């Protein structure tokens, strides 16, 4: 079985999820705070939050 990971769709889905989460749970003044270690996972999390 072959599996193809669609990076563009997954990225768009993550950005939409972050936007939707803040739209439904936060006030206009709410800010996001994430810890940055410099690793791949925190770098990706930061990039997704910036785009959202």
Per-residue pLDDT tens for 18-44?
Answer: 999 999 999 888 887 888 898 999 999
3-state secondary structure 1-52: CCCCCCHHHHHHHHHHHHHHHHHHHCCCCCCCCCCCCCCHHHHHHHHHHHHC
Cα–Cα distance measured from residue 37 to residue 42, given in angstroms and rounded to the nearest whole number: 6
Of the two residues 38 and 15, the one the predictor is more confident about is: 15
Q: Is residue 44 situated within a structural domain? A: yes
Residue 27 domain flag: yes
pTM of the entire predicted model: 0.76
- Confirm whether 22 is domain-assigned: yes
pLDDT at 9: 95
Into how many domains does the chain fold? 1
Contacts of 14 (CB under 8 A, 6+ apart): 48
Q: Is residue 1 part of a domain?
A: no
- What's the domain range around 36? 7-51
Q: Is the pLDDT of residue 51 over 90?
A: yes
In a domain, 2, yes or no: no
Quick check: is 45 in a domain? yes
Residue 35 is assigned to a structural domain of this protein: yes
């Amino acid at each position: 079985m072959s599996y193809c990971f669609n990076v563009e769709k997954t990225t768009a889905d993550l950005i939409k999820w972050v936007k939707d989460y803040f739209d439904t749970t936060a006030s206009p003044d709410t800010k996001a705070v994430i810890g940055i270690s410099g690793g791949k996972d925190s770098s990706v999390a930061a990039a997704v939050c910036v785009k959202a």
